[in-house]
Amino acid sequence: MNTYIVVFLFFGFAFGIASFPVRHLFSEGPTKTDVSEVTSFLDGRIFWALVCTCLWPIMLLTGLNSARILAKRRSSNLG
């Protein structure tokens, strides 16, 4: 059982590190927010990775929803 927990947490941390540049897709929709006032670049990345460590399934679902919204918006602009 401990192996599953460690894998879950490790995957969440890796997901957080990988999704940091597009973190605006995992919040309140597909619009980019203003750059936040973070004291250092590393602090923001570590905080995002720690949040994603435990919440990565929810973050993944919200990211997929934002991707669906963006795809629908792109297809309506083309036609």
Domain ranges of the chain: 2-78
Q: What is the number of other CB atoms lying within 10 angstroms of the CB of residue 56?
A: 22
Q: What is the mean pLDDT of each run of 10 residues along the chain (79 residues)?
A: 92 91 71 58 82 90 86 80
pLDDT at residue 69, rounded to an integer: 86
Cβ neighbours for 27, distance < 8 A, ≥ 6 positions apart:
33, 62
Q: Please give the structure tokens belonging to residue 32.
A: 């980019």
pLDDT at residue 57, rounded to an integer: 92
pLDDT at residue 29, rounded to an integer: 54
